[in-house]
Structure 1
């Protein structure tokens, strides 16, 4: 998706990523990395007593995994610019396969050589349910004119 220059994007451009299955190892490694051992994610017996009846992936883990589902071309993408309106709308369970759909919803020039591309991202699982939605902003180079 982010392998083209700012002026090559159009409002309404859409794309879909490949899928990625969430594993128990993902949850354990993310808990260790982040220090977030909340029992809804890491304790089977605790999770059985919740409305979800099983462990769920951390919301921030789901967002982190989505960064690996997007192609960011070095030299085109300058930097991650931010994220707005993040919502977790359904649980992501161990064994769910998630993918992203994206739609360009805003383009803002930042001078003569860069711009911010805003993409409405939906994280969906194999059932089609949306598990997270957010607006991602990336600072992208414009083509260099020689």
Structure 2
């Protein structure tokens, strides 16, 4: 989605990514990298006793995977600017397939050569359920510096 310079975007533009299936390897690798070994993610017996009835993927894993589903063009993206109003609204299970729906909601000039693009970032699984939502902000260049 972010392959053209700031100034070439309009509020209301929408883009949908391809899908990505969440695997056991994703969950185990993320636990090892992050140090987050919370039982809901790695302990089948414990997870069966929860409201989810089985293990769920880490919310931060799904958020991280979602950034890989967006197209970031080197030279266009100057920096990740932040996320506002981030919410984890539903579980993602091993075997679920997620995609991102991104809608531009705001454009703000920053410097002469840059601006901040705000997108409604919705991570949706194959059932149509939104599992994570937030307002992702990116600092974009007005020209491609690659």
Report the Cα distance in structure 2 between the residues aligned to 1:111 and 1:31, rounded to whole angstroms.
Answer: 39
Per-residue displacement from partner, 1:2-29 (whole Å, max 9, x unpaired)?
A: 0011100000000000000000110000
1:18-75, Cα deviation, whole Å (9 max, x unpaired): 0000001100000000000000000000000001000000010010100110010001
Aligned-pair Cα RMSD in Å: 0.8
Aligned to 1:135: 135
Q: How many residues align?
A: 144
**Distance in 1 separating the partners of 2:11 and 2:71:** 19
Other-structure match for 1:19: 19
* Correspondence for 1:84: 84
- Is 1:117–2:117 an aligned residue pair? yes
Partner SS for 1:27: helix
Residue number in structure 1 paired with 2:35: 35
Distance 1:33 1:77 in 2: 26
**TM-score of the superposed pair, with normalisation by structure 1:** 0.97
Segments of 5+ residues of structure 2 without an aligned counterpart are none
Q: d(CA) in 2 for partners of 1:104 and 1:35?
A: 34
**TM-score, L = length of structure 2:** 0.97
Which consecutive segments of 4 or more residues in structure 1 shift more than 6 A?
A: none
Shift of 1:143: 2.7
